[in-house]
Amino acid sequence: MIDKGSKYNIIISSRVLLIAVALLLSLGTVNVFANEHFDNSKTIVFLGNEKIAPIIYNEKGTAKGVVVDIAKELGKKMGCGIEVRAINWDEAQRMVLLGEADALLQINPNPEREKLYDFSDELLKSEFSIFIKNGNPSIENVDDLKNKLVGVESGGYPFALLQKHGGINIELISDWKTGFLKVATGEIDAIVVDRWIGEYELAQSGIKGIQILNEPIETQYSRIAVKKGNKELLSHINSGLKEINEDGTIADILSKWKGKRVIYLTEESLKSTLLYSVISFLALILLVSLYWVIKFKKLSKKLESEVKQRTQELHDANELLRKANAELEKISMVDKLTAISNRRCFDATFQMTWGISMRERQSLALIMIDIDNFKLVNDTYGHLAGDECLKSVAAAIKSVIKRKGDMVARFGGEEFIVMLLNTTEEGAAIVAEDIRKKIKSLAIKNEAVDSVITVSLGVAAVIPNDSMRPDELINAADKALYQAKKDGRNKVVRQSILQA
């Protein structure tokens, strides 16, 4: 028989056991629900800049590079599929903001980007450095870049970095090889880029005559960025980064890729060693026989002649390549039909000019121009006649705009845009009226409306500041143009009148 005390102890033990089981089950449930928040079956799409080898680049449609290897290991730690694409950097940022991709690889935070993205923990060290032509004594640090022409990539961090330093003339370059060739030939004074990327490009391309300043402009740690508010994905990325940092995976990847730039870093020492070896060998030959000395001198002269010939051939080939690249870059910025700047060229120039006007506190003006009843011209005379009309109108606008720094561009279809530096709305309206009269004086017949070709023009101007976006000025000029067409066409309308 079981006494009362033993029976009581059994009851207590049973209750304790039940409570413990319940706690374990509840903890398991919590873990299950926690894991359910992140869908491991989903493939995470990472995007990176295709032009920053060896960090990330596109090789025959496949993304390769340091951060590509890191992203693959990160996916293993996160327990989900990973897809990495190396594409145009501006397009990559747009896709993440639109939700067409999940995250950006190798991006450096700045105040503007922090409004759009949430950033992970540190990824890679970035030393933004200055590359110049060998023997250029005029540039020793970032302060010496004032009034110099400096190449950077569109949409990259160095563009924003240089804008913080006043007086630097920024030139957007299409790719790093073209940029370094321009430095080597003296077309531009310097390039600012991540040290690793620049050294890798020089090693791969074999471009000579370039040196890097020892002191970087700025040292940062790049991150992985997700669209603002995507805290769940960011949390899993940070957890994965922590694991591959702690277990040495990232260190192994960096060790493998950093070996790729050894040739560039040790090239001078290899040349010195080779030179000393040749001198020693020549000394030995001199001691052995005068005959061999004479033979060697003859051989050396022949070799020197061949080297000079090959050097000249290489120089000529590089010059042809430079001219071809310059011509290709020029073509990509010019409208084929009208031979004036195209929309791409305007967008790049307008962004840079906006920043300059903001720093100098100068008024920046736009004139938006549209050919009246242009569809009727095409319908009546055909598209060939329409094309000739566009050419004539473009030439007329360009003949009015003569100041250095001002710009005429084809905005799209039958629309043109004029950008005027340091110009008020009143001054821009005078220029717009000259354009209107000039085009009307061409007397291009438009029998569809029993008249001649005319244009409607919208004018807007503003002194840019931090609270404004560049596209606000474009929209203001476009609204004024719309009002000009609404009021009967062949008119100039100022944006300030609409606000009155």
Cite the beta strand spans of 363-440 per DSSP E.
Answer: 364-371, 407-412, 415-420
Distances (CA, A) of 126 to 56, 157, 160, 220: 14, 10, 15, 5
Is residue 15 within 8 Å of residue 71, measured between CB atoms? no
3-state secondary structure of 193: strand
457, HSE (Cβ side, Cα atoms, 13 Å):
28
What does the alpha-carbon distance between residue 223 and residue 217 come to, in Å, rounded to a whole number?
19
What does the alpha-carbon distance between residue 353 and residue 168 come to, in Å, rounded to a whole number?
12
Cβ neighbours for 57, distance < 8 A, ≥ 6 positions apart: 50, 51, 63, 64, 65, 86
Is residue 470 within 8 Å of residue 354, measured between CB atoms? yes
What does the alpha-carbon distance between residue 129 and residue 79 come to, in Å, rounded to a whole number?
37
Is residue 495 within 8 Å of residue 479, measured between CB atoms? yes
Catalytic residue, from 50, 199, 414, 425: name it. 414
What does the alpha-carbon distance between residue 180 and residue 243 come to, in Å, rounded to a whole number?
38
Let me know if 414 is a catalytic residue. Answer: yes
Cβ neighbours for 330, distance < 8 A, ≥ 6 positions apart: none
* Number of neighbours of residue 38 by Cβ within 10 angstroms: 15
What does the alpha-carbon distance between residue 144 and residue 377 come to, in Å, rounded to a whole number?
55
For the annotated catalytic residues, the residue numbers are 414
